Amino acid sequence: MGQKETFLGGEADRFFGRNRGIYDGESGYSQSYSVEPTLLRMGIRPRSILEIGCSNGWRLASLRDKFPDARLAGLEPSQEAVEAGKARWGLDLRVGTADELPFHDGEFDLVIFGGCLYLCDRADLFRIAWQADRVLADTGFVCLWDYASKVPYANAYSHRDGLRSFKMDYPSMFLWNPDYWMVALDPAGGIKDSPDDRMVVALLRKQRETAWPPNPWTRSP
Ligand SMILES: C[S@@+](CC[C@H](N)C(=O)[O-])C[C@H]1O[C@@H](n2cnc3c(N)ncnc32)[C@H](O)[C@@H]1O
């Protein structure tokens, strides 16, 4: 069984149970792990936002204050988190995983990965990037809130035997492709002594139409 099935089969509910205090409460967690400063600094005005791995949707709820006209949607494997967020904020949250997005092509102009990539099965990474690209409109943005170690490695997941937390340079899932470029890269969650704890907010822009100018030597096509 992969990590995806384990999370869908109850591990995501346990994750939410352990952390709901910080997602619900006044701990300051939402301030430290907000993506809003990056979006606002870069002048992004999204009209439709999807957060993948959104838990109870606290980040979407806070984005609603800044972008009141934007359509918001979230996807999360924890049924309990989804129900809690729907009840509290009336958000459009759905149960599911990053490799299979139940949305139409080009439906969003901002897709946020909310710290879920480090938990995803390695064999799903290409599919996950493809799905995000599929639902993202051209000229839209991907915002990755996650680890960004230049060196890939795995930790044992401390809450359940057999699972792992994977650290790697997640923006590189998109940046190999000329359609995407890095708009901003900020530290997330303050200064961390251990490189293992360091997270980033990476904002990437998709610009397919302008990524492929005519051949500069032959001027074709
Ligand atoms: C570190 S939490 C982050 C929650 C919230 N987005 C935040 O920033 O506080 C990671 C979330 O990813 C979810 N997750 C785990 N595997 C996933 C997958 N394959 N696809 C999408 N989300 C997943 C977990 O259930 C958990 O809610």
Kindly state the tokens that stand for 83.
């129900």
In ligand 1, which atom is closest to the CA atom of 55?
A: 27
Return d(Cα 204, Cα 151) in angstroms, integer. Answer: 20
* Domain regions of the chain by residue span: 3-211
Q: Which amino acid is at 136?
A: L
Q: How far is CA 87 from the centre of its chain?
A: 22
Percent share of the chain, pLDDT over 70: 96
Residue 135 to residues 102, 109, 112, 148, 205: CA-CA distances in angstroms? Answer: 9, 8, 12, 23, 14
What pLDDT is attached to residue 219?
A: 78
Task: Specify the DSSP class assigned to residue 159.
Answer: T
Section 30-47 average pLDDT? 89
Section 17-34 average pLDDT? 77
Question: From the CA of 76, how far away is ligand 1's center (Å)?
Answer: 6
Instruction: Encode pLDDT of 59-94 as tens digits.
Output: 999 999 899 999 999 999 999 999 999 999 999 999
Name the pairing type of β-strands 164-169 and 180-188.
unpaired
CB distance 48 to ligand 1 below 6 Å: no
Kindly state the tokens that stand for 9.
């089969």
Residue among 116, 128, 166, 199 whose CB has most ligand 1 atoms within 8 A, to mutate: 116
Would you say residue 153 has pLDDT above 90?
Answer: yes
Return d(Cα 82, Cα 99) in angstroms, integer. Answer: 18
Low-confidence winner among 43-57, 88-102, 188-202, 203-217 (lowest mean pLDDT): 188-202
Helix 79-89 to helix 58-66 angle, to the nearest 10 degrees? 30
Q: Between 34 and 137, whose confidence is greater?
A: 137
What pLDDT is attached to residue 103?
A: 98
How would you label 99-123 residue by residue, b for 16+ Cβ within 10 Å and e otherwise?
bebebeeebbbbbbbbbbbbbbbee
CB distance 76 to ligand 1 below 6 Å: yes
List beta partners, residue 215: none
Would you say residue 5 has pLDDT above 90?
Answer: yes
Q: Between 197 and 94, whose confidence is greater?
A: 94
What pLDDT is attached to residue 169?
A: 96
Per-residue confidence band for 183, with pLDDT thresholds at 50, 70 and 90: very high
CB distance 52 to ligand 1 below 6 Å: yes
Kindly state the tokens that stand for 55.
């838990």
In ligand 1, which atom is closest to the CA atom of 145?
A: 8
Would you say residue 24 has pLDDT above 80?
Answer: no
CB distance 15 to ligand 1 below 6 Å: yes
What pLDDT is attached to residue 25?
A: 66
Q: Which amino acid is at 122?
A: R
Choose among 189, 149, 194: nearest CA to 170. Answer: 149
Q: What are phi and psi of 181, to 5 degrees?
A: -140, 155
Right CATH for 3-211 from 3.40.50.1000, 3.90.1640.10, 2.60.40.720, 3.40.50.150: 3.40.50.150
CB distance 4 to ligand 1 below 6 Å: yes
Return d(Cα 174, Cα 82) in angstroms, integer. Answer: 28
Instruction: Encode pLDDT of 140-151 as tens digits.
Output: 999 999 998 999
**What's the number of CA atoms in the CB half-sphere (13 Å) around residue 182?**
14
CB distance 116 to ligand 1 below 6 Å: yes
What pLDDT is attached to residue 211?
A: 93
Per-residue confidence band for 204, with pLDDT thresholds at 50, 70 and 90: very high
CB distance 6 to ligand 1 below 6 Å: no
Per-residue confidence band for 29, with pLDDT thresholds at 50, 70 and 90: low
